[in-house]
Structure formats: structure tokens, C-alpha cells
């Protein structure tokens, strides 16, 4: 399809395990965002990639969280030593260019449950 895709759609893991979440942005989109939505909360910004520039990691909640974007396309969000408070829906979005005025297209999200 032409939209943003994310995998897996659901992930259940045990506390202390590492998880990797994948995002395939729309082809040609140079900007990529990761958000998470915890129960009863709004979307929380995590990290932003723009082309080959250094990512904006200001939203990552701890050093257990990291993300990379290979070849300016696919992105992987890694959470190490997962905790129960990491349970949330993790959403990826891409936009054609950086900047506030460029529409973000969201993927369907990955629901992470940490037992």
C-alpha cells in the first residue's frame, strides 16, 4: 500500500525483555516521527528524523529508548529492558518535508503490552 506501515501490530513481552518496533514510511517522505499514546493520554512525541540530519531525540523518556532510520527510509524504535509503564500504542508518522506545515501521515500503530 501507499501508506505508512508498522509492524508488528501487537506485541506482548515480559518485563525486562528488549523489543523492536518497525516503521515503513511513505516512499519519498523525508521526515519521520515516533509518538506513543499511553492509556488516557495524548500522543507523546518521542523522536524525529529529517533526511540525513541528526535526529531530534528530545522526547525519548529514558536511555532505554533508541531509534534509528536506515537509508533515510525504514525506522526501528528499540526499547531495552522493557518496563510495565512502557505499555502503550507506538505510532509512526511521516511527512513529505520537515516543518510544521507539512501534513503528517500516521501508521496504524503498534500496541505494546509489557507483562
Distance CA 107, CA 4 (A): 5
Which residues fall within 8 angstroms of residue 62, CB to CB, at 6 or more apart? none
Nearest approach in angstroms of CB 22 to other proteins is 15
Cα separations (Å) of 31 from 9, 17, 45, 84?
A: 22, 29, 14, 30
Nearer to other proteins, 18 or 62 (CB): 62
Nearest approach in angstroms of CB 28 to other proteins is 17
Using CB under 8 A as the criterion, which residues of the chain lie in contact with other proteins when the complex forms? 4, 33, 35, 40-45, 48, 50, 56, 58-59, 91, 93, 98, 100-101, 103-109
Nearest approach in angstroms of CB 52 to other proteins is 15
Amino acid at each position: 500500500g501507499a501508506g505508512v506501515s508498522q509492524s508488528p501490530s501487537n506485541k506482548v513481552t515480559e518485563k525486562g525483555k528488549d523489543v523492536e518496533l518497525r516503521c515503513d514510511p511513505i516512499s519519498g517522505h523525508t521526515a519521520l516521527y515516533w509518538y506513543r499514546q499511553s492509556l488516557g493520554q495524548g500522543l507523546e512525541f518521542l523522536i524525529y528524523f529529517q533526511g540525513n540530519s541528526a535526529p531530534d531525540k528530545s522526547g525519548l523518556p529514558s536511555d532505554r529508548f533508541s531509534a534509528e532510520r536506515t537509508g533515510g527510509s525504514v525506522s526501528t524504535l528499540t526499547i531495552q529492558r522493557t518496563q510495565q509503564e512502557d505499555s502503550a500504542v507506538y505510532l509512526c508518522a511521516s511527512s513529505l518535508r520537515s516543518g510544521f506545515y507539512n501534513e503528517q501521515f500516521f501508521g496504524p500503530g503498534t500496541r505494546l503490552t509489557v507483562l
